[in-house]
Chain A
Amino acid sequence: MSLLSRLGLCLVVAVSSARGAVLALDAARLEGDGWEAGPLHLALEVEGPLPALELKVARFRLEPAALEGRDLRLACPRLELDETGDVRCPDARLTLAMPPWKSVQGRLRGAKTGEGLTLSLSPLSLDGGRIEGTLSVSGAQSRADLRFRGLDLAVPGRRWFVEWQPRGRLGGRFAGALETDGRWRVHGRWTLAEAAFSDVDGLRVGEGLSAVLTLEGRGRDGSAAGSVELTLSDGQLYLDPFYLAFERPLRVAVRGRVAPGELRLSHFEAAMDGVFHAAGRLRWHGGRLHGLRLRAALDDLEQAYPSLLQPVLIGTALDDLEVEGRASGTLVWGADGPEALGLMLDGVTVADRGGRFRLAGVDADLNWAREDAPRDSTLAWREAGLYRIGLGGTRLQLQAAGDRVTVAPFSLDLLDGRLEITGLMLTGFLSGALEAVAGARLKGVKLEALSRALSWPPLQGEVNAVLPRLHYHEGRLSLEGDLVVELFGGKVVVEGLEIQDPLGPAPVLETRLRLENLDLAQLSATFSFGRIEGSLEGRVRNLRLVGWELAAFDAELRSPSDDPRPHRISQRAIDDLTELGNGVASGLSGTFLGVFKTFAYDRLALRVRLEGDTAHLDGAPRTGGGYYIVKGALLPRVDVIGRNHRVAWKELLSRLRNIRVQKAVVE
């Protein structure tokens, strides 16, 4: 009624003429509040039993929807008028072109009665899709009850959602009502088939989606409240960085209200059966998150890891894992950021596919608070591993708050011995600059177990050490204190050990070694290198392993000046040296020296300094060129003399070939 009134009021030019039984009205232009049309031709034919109405509009524009149409033709062959002034058109036909739709056509039923205006679409075709239902204006209320089928989303998408490029077919039902005081309510259920979309950067993309969306809402003056439920059951979705393939349906439900500058969700929920379930509530105000309470459960970490966890871990040591088990957690977010976090792990196994680390049988109840008093947490695992070194299980008691985690002393099995950690504290979680400090003690760690784990020749001995401070910061792990390895009857002291980027592609290990009183008899027996009696001492400076491979060192090994052990070297050891050297082994044993099973020696000395791919060699000083590696003593005397001081490292093996018996004389 109000629309027609406005139409009448806004009629600018009205030219009417009666020509026989036809009443025609032509207008160059009509306009109203939010619309305009023209030229317009309205003809009323009154010759038959019922008058016929025909409306033609060359162009029209609806401002609120930014719609422009042309060639509108509405024909009502039977216009029913009664004495009360009611007007009905039981069977009208409508055709028009209204971009983005090329063709809109269909049948209508319309009635203007004392109760209001009713327009029924039965149905209306939009480029292959169909809409049917009723639009009505009655008293203070306008209502719509529409059903859609097969609407092509690409058509409106090209006009109103260019940056999202939607495609797919939409069907469903929509019902809504608008009161003159501004109150409105809607509910609907839509189905999407073969839907796709993509933003301009391709960072939010859906393909082949099937979805069902149900909506219920009401509102007034820019505020709205209601609920939305969405089920995605086919296709794939990429919301950078997350990728989801809907082999199982994803259900999302949201209930809340929105007002200018504020969003409150009293309940939201997302679930994928057997994979994850999350629920909570949140408040968004003034362009930022003001409050969030979230409960989440990952029922199957093997399924959840690739789509929900790995994408945010790319570039870290945790981006290529095999994971099993269950996890659940809670998150409380306040106006100033995260306030509390809880994480439960149940039977979790984590293994790096690169073989760098693994944890099995992990159970945890971890709690963190931003400001409150530290909360107690526990973390336990059944077994663990670092590279090829196995670690036993343990149970940690820890407290976390703010930027700090402190762990109560704990110990675990390590290579048939024990590793005890005390005073472990981690900081820098919030700033991103993770730092850890701890003290450590190694008790009875067996080298035999170590050599077994690393497939080395079997070594005997054990490691006992007190490390007052282990420190990890900016990718660098450093040990303060000496690591004493009891080995071959003596000891090897590891000093100043540092490992940079321990889980990276090329970890760098730097340290110094001090060798004290090693029993060569035990050492040579381990390597089946003949038999050498005596002691060995020395230093290895600037030892550097990159990617666990030897990159540089400066080793200086020698017999102690006051060695109490006898100095004897077996013919086998000489043979081995000789065989390494130049194949003279048989020559030595073939000479009269072959009757001697062992030889006395004065001292052993060898210095090897590796720089780049070159080894620099030296030994005990010798007049007349070269240097002693083995300086013989007594009779018969055998000297092993080195000649070259600089050799390619790879050629050190060849250099060993050059070690030869320079002198084998009986004086």
Chain B
Amino acid sequence: MIKRAGWPLLSLLLSACVTINIYFPAAAAEEAARVIVRDVLKGTEAAEPEAAPAEGQNGAALDGPSGALRMVLHLLETMVPQAHAAQADININTPAIARLRQSMQKRQKALAPWYRAGAIGFNARGLVEVRTLKPVPLNQRNRLKKLVADENEDRNALYREIARANGHPEWEDEIRKTFARIWVEEAPKGYWYKTDGSWKRK
């Protein structure tokens, strides 16, 4: 009986000793978050990462195919991400992330006056939260609430996609925490943020 149980037990013991550590690349995540947050808060046009091959090229330039093939290539071009010469530990160059960044940048113009007015601010979950509706004209309050809801949908999707794009969906929470800190660090003076349940002005 003991003999029969021996191998499974030994296997169990051996497997119990295996430890797999996957460390969250905090510095790279912070760098990536800062790039995105600066882009969004400045409300500038999305900076398209420069296209560069990962390896050397040895082919001649292509003027371009014709007909339906060109259409297919065009479709591919619109569907695929721009390449980046330097491969960071945290990849933020995917079509989904680019689209979310663009969406957030576009919305920033509408949100910025309300950040400055103190109506909204950043919370500890890396989201935007209504601080007070007092400065907001009555007929614009629900518009602002929708902007905040849409912004948070994009932010939640952004954190999820960065984690997924880097092959570690379980990093989502760490990425969210990193962004939550960077939003506040990069916020202009006068913006509000929530910490330990209370609002503070930067």
Contacts and interface: CB of A to CB of B under 8 A. Distances in A.
Interface of A: 198, 201-203, 205, 207, 236-238, 240-241, 243, 245, 306, 310-311, 314-315, 319-320, 456-457, 501, 504-506, 508, 526-529, 544, 546-547, 549-551, 576, 579-583, 611-614, 643-644, 646-655, 657-660
Given A201-B132, A205-B138, A550-B95, A650 B157 contact: no
A247 to B, nearest CB: 12
15 contacts: A205-B138, A238-B141, A306-B142, A310-B146, A315-B152, A504-B157, A506-B99, A506-B154, A544-B164, A549-B99, A551-B164, A580-B62, A650-B82, A653-B77, A657-B60
Contact of B138 (A236, A580, A648, A652): A236
Given A236-B138, A546-B161, A547-B95, A613 B58 contact: no
A620 B66 CA distance: 28
B161 A506 contact: yes
B18 interface: no
Nearest to B99: A547
Given A550-B80, A648-B51, A657-B57, 8 more contacts: A245-B139, A547-B100, A551-B96, A583-B60, A583-B61, A643-B58, A653-B73, A655-B53
B52 interface: yes
Q: Name the residue among A526, A653, A659 with the largest chain B CB count within 10 angstroms.
A: A653
Given A550-B95, A614-B54, A505 B103 contact: yes
Contacts of A508: 164
Given A504-B157, A647-B53, A457 B68 contact: yes
Q: Name the residue among B54, B77, B103, B165 with the largest chain A CB count within 10 angstroms.
A: B54
Interface in B69-119: 69, 71-73, 75-77, 79-84, 87, 91, 93-96, 99-100, 103
B134 interface: yes
A490 to B, nearest CB: 20
A586 to B, nearest CB: 12
B139 A650 contact: no
B138 A207 contact: yes
A649 B146 contact: no
A243 B141 contact: yes
Please name the 6 residue pairs, one residue from A and one from B, whose CB atoms are nearest each other, closest first.
A648-B83, A546-B96, A202-B134, A658-B59, A549-B95, A315-B149
Contact of A612 (B94, B138, B160): B94
A505 B63 contact: no
B141 to A, nearest CB: 6
Contact of A314 (B65, B94, B100, B146): B146
Contacts of B62: 579-583, 653-654, 657
B30 interface: no
B11 to A, nearest CB: 29
Given A504-B153, A506-B100, A580-B62, A527 B95 contact: no
Given A236-B139, A243-B139, A319 B55 contact: no
Q: Name the residue among A198, A243, A550, A649 with the largest chain B CB count within 10 angstroms.
A: A649
A508 B165 CA distance: 12
A580 B146 CA distance: 47
Contact of B93 (A237, A613, A655): A613
Given A528-B69, A651-B51, A611 B95 contact: no
B80 A649 contact: yes
Contact of A501 (B81, B134, B157): B157
Contacts of A457: 68, 71-72
A611 B82 CA distance: 13
A319 B69 contact: no
Given A506-B99, A528-B69, A613-B82, A243 B138 contact: yes
Q: Name the residue among A198, A508, A547 with the largest chain B CB count within 10 angstroms.
A: A547
A493 B145 CA distance: 43
A203 B133 contact: yes
Nearest to A306: B142
A649 B81 contact: yes
B60 A611 contact: no
Contact of B167 (A237, A243, A611, A647): A611
B165 A202 contact: no
Contact of B96 (A320, A549, A580): A549
Nearest to A207: B138
Interface string B133-174: 110001101100110011011100100110011110000000
A198 B138 CA distance: 11
B6 interface: no
B72 A648 contact: no
Given A457-B68, A576-B65, A580-B62, A614 B87 contact: yes
B67 interface: yes
A319 B146 contact: yes
Given A207-B138, A506-B157, A551-B165, A613 B76 contact: no
B129 to A, nearest CB: 13
B100 A310 contact: no
A546 B95 contact: yes
A406 B144 CA distance: 38
A574 to B, nearest CB: 13
Contact of A579 (B65, B133, B161): B65
A657 B94 CA distance: 23
A240 B95 contact: no
Contact of B79 (A236, A314, A549, A655): A549
